[in-house]
Amino acid sequence: MNLDLKGKAVLVTGGSKGIGLACARAFLDEGAKIAIVSRDRANLDAAAGQLSNAKTIVADLTHAADAARMAQEAERALGPIDVLVNSAGAAKRYPPDELNAQAWHAAMDAKYFTYIHAMDAVLPSMRNRRRGTVVNIIGTGGKVATPIHLPGGAANSALMLASVGLASVYGKFGVRINAINPGATMTGRIREALALEAKAKGIAIDKVFEEGQSRVPLGRYADPEDIARVSLFLASDLAAYVTGAIIPMDGGLNPII
């Protein structure tokens, strides 16, 4: 199927690994022009070996000024940004007895403000050109509270509201904003969650992994490529009448609306 993404300028935050890297690779396969962003130069260099001709940008998106610079660098390399995929930032998980004010603030900085700053940096140009799409990779932790992911889940919830609110504001300017809520996905992040759960339960990580997958109606955790394929759809004209959507991708684990 031709998604008509060839030549599109796509900016992927958190594009050096995990779901972000899978998204960057998927857009490249469709012929898009790609810039990937990370705080870590070593991670970017490693990813660049898998992504031919991708522009790499070091930026700490917890800072609005860095996000503005990121957008300027991406546009100098690719032209006006057609698609922003936000996959940067991951809030640290904490056992409940380790929660404090710093943990809550850090989660908002790591997940909420990284996305907000990136959107603030590209949305005015999209509005002026009356076209553009944003895909926010958020997470089911914002819908279903889990004891070891409360600050991150709260940041995810706030980001969902911001996503649908901005979609309502920018729709009349031809800009679409949607979000995806992955469940457990086979990236490095899942090991952190499994380790905390294993410690809390006093069992082996492998056992936690097996039990977790067995609870998913589709029988497995997601692969990053599963998320990337839906990102392609949302960014394409096939989704021209889709905006303000929050799409769950947890394999049916949480039967909620």
pLDDT in tens, 34-91: 999 999 999 999 999 999 899 999 999 999 999 999 999 999 999 999 999 999 988 8
Read off the pTM: 0.94
198 burial type by CB count under 10 A (0-12 exposed, 13-18 middle, 19+ buried): middle
**217-235: string of b/e by CB count within 10 Å (b at 16+)?**
eeeebbebebbbebbbebb
Helices 224-235 + 18-29 axis angle, to 10: 50
| Residue 179 to residues 68, 112, 127, 155, Cα–Cα distance (Å) | 22, 13, 19, 14
Tell me the domains of the chain and their CATH numbers: 9-249 (3.40.50.720)
Q: Are 37 and 26 in contact (CB under 8 A)?
A: no
Residue 193 has pLDDT above 80, yes or no: no
**Confidence (pLDDT) at 1:** 66
Q: Give residue 192's pLDDT.
A: 74
Instruction: List, for residues 147-190, the tens digit of each pLDDT value.
Output: 888 999 999 999 999 999 999 999 999 999 999 999 999 998 77
pLDDT tens-place string over residues 110-140 = 999 999 999 999 999 999 999 999 999 999 9
Task: Give the confidence band of 205 by pLDDT, cuts at 50, 70, 90.
Answer: confident
